Amino acid sequence: MNVHYQVSDTADGLKVVVIDELSIRLRVLIAVVFGAPFFAATRAFFGYWSVLIALIAATLMLLGNVASRVELRATKFELVAAGNLGRRGSRTTRVVCTGDIRRLEFRDLAGNRRGLYAVTNRTAHLILPFLDYAQTMEVIRAIKEKFPGLAEAWREESPSTRNFLTLGLGRLK
């Protein structure tokens, strides 16, 4: 998979666009896996025409399933992520208020998508999937440079350095 991203300034913040393109091999595999059962299901009704119908269906799958796109708009008040944040093909919009964010971080956990997460007191919200560690750090750096006041408010501590005695007391400093 090829991941492309672009960070650009807007009038009130930043816009980050991430595009995850499927490799041609994976697209062909999806087309074949989709076309073969389609052929088997239509053969009884259409005879030899089912070959043409299955090829058209596979070609449409090949051309239609090209990339996943996510757009993040960051302002000093909120981070709004829109696009494929869930399963492939689903469109989701996620809004995280900057006042709730404790830190931004990269995560690559088994069973979850890798990418940029906004960590709040209750949970971690995926806001930019598909990015690797270096790309995520560049996006975090761009957000911190654009909004230095917010970056100061976000705690830099890692979850492993906290213990049960200091949990929740970090903002009293």
Does the structure show a pLDDT above 60 at 163? no
Of 98-112, 127-141, 147-161, give the lowest mean pLDDT range.
147-161
134 and 95 in one domain? yes
139 and 74 in one domain? yes
**Structural domain includes residue 16:** yes
**Structural domain includes residue 118:** yes
CATH assignment of the domain containing 99: 2.30.29
pLDDT at 154: 67
Instruction: Give per-residue pLDDT as tens, 9-61.
Output: 999 999 999 988 877 787 788 778 877 887 888 888 888 888 888 888 788 77
152 and 99 in one domain? yes
106 and 86 in one domain? yes
Residue 112 is classified by DSSP as: S
pTM to 2 decimal places: 0.70
pLDDT-derived band at 65 (thresholds 50, 70, 90) equals low
DSSP secondary structure of 43-91: HHHHTTHHHHHHHHHHHHHHHH--EEEEEEEEESSEEEEEE--SSTT--
Instruction: Give per-residue pLDDT as tens, 113-123.
Output: 889 999 998 89
Residue 30 structural domain: 24-64
91 and 16 in one domain? yes
31 and 111 in one domain? no
Mean pLDDT value across the chain: 81
Helix or strand holding residue 118 (H, E)? strand 115-120
90 and 107 in one domain? yes
pLDDT at 157: 44
**Structural domain includes residue 165:** no
- Domain tally for the chain? 2
